[in-house]
Amino acid sequence: MAHEHHHEHHQEEGIKPIVVRIIVAALLLVAAVIVEKRFNLATWQLLLVFLVPYLVAGFDTLKEAVEGLSHGEALDENFLMSIATIGALCIGFLPEAEPQFAEAVFVMLFFQIGELFETVAEGRSRRSIAHLMDIRPDTANLEKDGSVEVVAPDSVRVGDIIVIKPGEKVPMDGVVIEGTSSVDTVAISGESVPRKIAEGDDIFSGCVNLGGVLRVRVTKAFGESTASRILELVEHAADNKSRSENFIARFAKVYTPIVVVAALLLAIVPPLFGGNFATWLYRALMFLVVSCPCALVLSVPLSFFGGIGGASRKGILIKGSNYLEALSKLDTVVFDKTGTLTEGVFEVTAVHPEIIEERELLHLAAHVERFSTHPIAASLRAAYPQENDDCSVENVEEVAGKGIRALVNGKTVCVGNSAMMEACGANWHACHKEGTVIHVCINSEYVGHIVISDRVKADSAEAITALKAAGVSRTVMLTGDRESVGKAVAKQLGLDECYAELMPADKVSKVEMLLGGMARGRKLAFVGDGINDAPVLARADVGIAMGALGSDAAIEAADVVLMDDNPSKVAMAVRIARRTIHIARENTWFAIGIKLLVLILAAAGIATMWMAVFADVGVTVLAVLNAMRALR
C-alpha cells in the first residue's frame, strides 16, 4: 500500500500547481485584455502582452508537443492545441485580419482546465479501487520466541505464527491454531454477514477480525495471499482491453491525421479561389481545436475502469474490460449444480465415536471412493481432499449398485448403501435424514454413515429470476448427480434446461454443444465453484467462479470471480456490465456528435474559437463526469 499512498500523494501534489497556474494565467489574461482596450498598441506590442498569460497557461502543453515530435508521436492533443494556438497568435499579422490573441490564450487556459478535470477523475477512480483495496494491512504481529513484534507483512514467512488482535485486518492467509472469533469479509466478498472462525479454520487476508485474539499459522506469503491476488487482478484488469477500447485507440490513430490534412486543405484551397486567407486560416485552426480526440480517448477507458472498480467493491472481480463487454451480451448462463446452486452439505454421523471419530469416518470413505467415478465419490473426495497421507489403499473393488470394498491399512472397509452393508454382514442402522446416505463398516463392524444433503441455496431462485429480468434468455444446469435429483432442482428453480449424470469431461462437450447453437454476437457464461470446473470455465466465453474466497484454482481459471457463494451476484455482474457499456456508448456518440456539429459550423464560418474550445474541452469534461457514474 505504501506505493499506493505515494501515488495518491504524488497526484495531489500534481493538482495544486495546475490550479495555481490556471488562476495566474486567468488574471494575466484579464489584465492583457484591459491593456488592449486602454492603450492603442501596435500588433507586435500586443503580442508581447498576451504572450505572458499564454506561456503561463501553455508551457506544459508546448513542452509535451515538442517531446512528442522528437519521439515521432506528433499527432496527439498537445500538438494539435499548440499548432492551433500558435496559428491564432500569428493571424493578427496578416493583412486585413483581426488579431486573435485573447482567443489563443483562452484556448490554452481552457485546455488546462480540461486536463485538471481528467487528473481529478482518474484520481478518483484509482482511489476508489485503492480504497476497496485498502484490505492489505501495512503491518503484521509476528510471534517470535514468546514475544510479539510488529513487522512489515512481506517479511513474514510461510509457517510463521502471527497474532491478530480484535479490530485488525488479517495480513496474510493462514490457519487458526488458537482462539475463536468472527471475521468481517465484506471488503473481499461483499458479504455483510460476519463468518465464525475457530481453531482449525482457514482465515483469509483482507478480512477484519471482529472478536477475540487469534493465533494463526501463515500458509501463504504476503504476495500470494488472497488480498494481494485480488489487488493484482484489479490492477491488471486494464491490460485486457475490450473491443470498444481497442476501436477507440485505433480510431484516434487514423482520425487525427485525417483531421490535420482536412484543416490544411481548409486553409489553402478556398483562398486559391479568391477567399480571404486570414478567414480561412482561422476556420482551419478552429477545425484543429475541435477535432482533438481527447474526450473519446479518455472517457471510454475511464468508463470501463469505473465499472470494474464498482464491481470489485461488491465482491465481483472482472479480469478485463473485454469480459465486461462479454457479460453485457450474455444470452445463455450455464450453472454447475453442487456448490453453485445448491450447498452440497455433508452430515457425518459416527455410530461408535469410541472406535472412530467423525473426521476419520469421512477420511476413510474418501480413501475408498478415491478411484470411483461416481458423483457422490467426487463430493466425498472434495470434502476430504488430503489424499496424500500415509494410508495404504489396496484391492479396491466396486460392487455394482451397492458400493465399494477396499483394504485400507490392512482392514477391510466397505462404503455404500444398505445392500452393501447386508452383503458385508454388518448390522447397520437406518437413517431417516433427507439426502443420499452412505454407510461405512470396518471388518464387518458398522461404524457410521454420511449424509449428503443437497440443499438449494437461499438466493438461487432469485438469481435465476434476476438473470431473466436482465435479458438472459436461457438458463441451463449441468450436474453429475442423478437425473431425478437434477430435474427436481431445475424445476424448483425455474431453469430452462438440465443435463444430469455428467462426468467433468461431458460438461465441456455440453458447453461446446450449447455454444454451437448460439446466435452470432451472443455470449455464454459458465458458473462453477472452480474446484473441478477449470476446463469448462476456460471453454465458456465467460468463466465465472463462485465462492472463490481463498480458492487459487478458481481465481486462476475464471474470467470473472465472485468472492462469495451467492448465485445472485451473477445477475448483478451482468447489470453492472450493461450499465458500463451503456455509459461508454453514450460518451462515444455524444463526443462524436458534438464534434461533427462544430466542425461543420467551423468550416462554414459560423462557429467561433470559443465554441471550438467547448466542443473539445467541454465535451471531455462532461464525458469524464458521465464515466464517473460507472463507479457507483
Supply the residues annotated as catalytic. Answer: 336
- Residues present in the chain in total: 632
Phi, psi for residue 143 in degrees, rounded to 5: -90, 125
Cα dihedral 285, 289, 291, 297 sign = positive
All 3 cell numbers of residue 620? 471531455
Can you say whether the dihedral through the CA atoms of 199, 201, 204, 206 is positive or negative?
negative
Helices (H) and strands (E) in the chain, counts: 21, 22
Cα 558 from Cα 537, distance rounded (Å): 6
Residue with cell 480571404: 276
For residue 18, give the 3-state DSSP assignment.
helix
Q: DSSP secondary-structure letter at 541?
A: S
Measured CA distances, 116 to 18, 19, 111, 381, 424 (Å): 7, 8, 9, 57, 80
Secondary structure E strands in 371-444: 393-399, 403-408, 411-416, 436-442
175, 137 Cβ separation under 8 angstroms? no
**How many other C-beta atoms are found inside a 10 Å radius of the C-beta of residue 198?**
12
Indicate the SS3 state at residue 434: coil
For the four alpha carbons of 27, 29, 32 and 34, in that order, the dihedral sign comes to negative
Q: CA 35 to CA 50: how far, in whole Å? A: 10
Give the span between the Cα atoms of 361 and 148, in whole angstroms: 39
The beta strand positions in 358-435, using DSSP E, are: 393-399, 403-408, 411-416
With a CB cutoff of 8 Å and minimum separation 6, the contacts of 73 are none
The residue among 286, 289, 326, 321 whose CA lies nearest residue 307 is: 321
Element (H, E) at 511: helix 504-516
State which amino acid sits at residue 208.
Answer: V
Cβ(334)–Cβ(525) under 8 Å? yes
